[in-house]
Chain A
Amino acid sequence: AAGVIQSPRHLIKEKRETATLKCYPIPRHDTVYWYQQGPGQDPQFLISFYEKMQSDKGSIPDRFSAQQFSDYHSELNMSSLELGDSALYFCASSLEGTGGFDEQYFGPGTRLTVT
């Protein structure tokens, strides 16, 4: 079965540079979520989109922005990168309202290293 696709899998950037992470949800899924996971931590929710509109916002820095496009893929744009932004970034997708709850399926993640 098709899974969530994320690209790139690994990314190395320098401080103050920008980065764009891409997420392709499972076909027919209409909701996308972005998470940041530091070493030894549980995933921290950043932001989500439902039907191309922002649906919820978590601990996303102002330097980050995201959007969901007409084909439901999503991009997380990160500017003025800081050393502390080094982490695994996960995208998850779900089909809204399935049985009254949303099962989130995670992608393999993008490992961002800021030097």
Chain B
Amino acid sequence: TQLLEQSPQFLSIQEGENLTVYCNSSSVFSSLQWYRQEPGEGPVLLVTVVTGGEVKKLKRLTFQFGDARKDSSLHITAAQPGDTGLYLCAGDEGSNYQLIWGAGTKLIIKP
């Protein structure tokens, strides 16, 4: 079974600090998606990365796909309390309809 290891599982930092969340796998993904989920709500798609080495920016969020398409990172600059939430990465193997999910990173930004 292909695994997607996400780290850290929990992160609590002060407003204004920077942080990085990592998703790593030993296998190759055709694409990787990042989601943000609020308690009791459905995951909201933030971005999809497809090409090895690809970098996408969404305001203060920067997403990167590894050159070998086995890993990805999410970097948040100058974190705000509104960034608080659960961040999930999910990889698409391309061979079936299932996504391989990371365990999630629970992020708390303290004012």
The residues of A with any CB-CB pair to B shorter than 8 Å are: 4, 31, 33, 42-43, 45, 48, 50, 55-56, 58, 88, 90, 92, 99-109, 111
Contact = CB atoms under 8 A, between A and B. Distances in A.
Interface string B10-50: 00000000000000000000110101000011111100101
Contacts of B104: 42
A42 B88 contact: yes
Contact of B97 (A4, A42, A48, A100): A48
Q: In terms of DSSP, what is the predominant structure of the interface of chain B?
A: loop
A90 B90 CA distance: 15
A105 B33 CA distance: 11
Contacts of B101: 42-43
Interface in B70-111: 88, 90, 92, 94, 96-99, 101-104
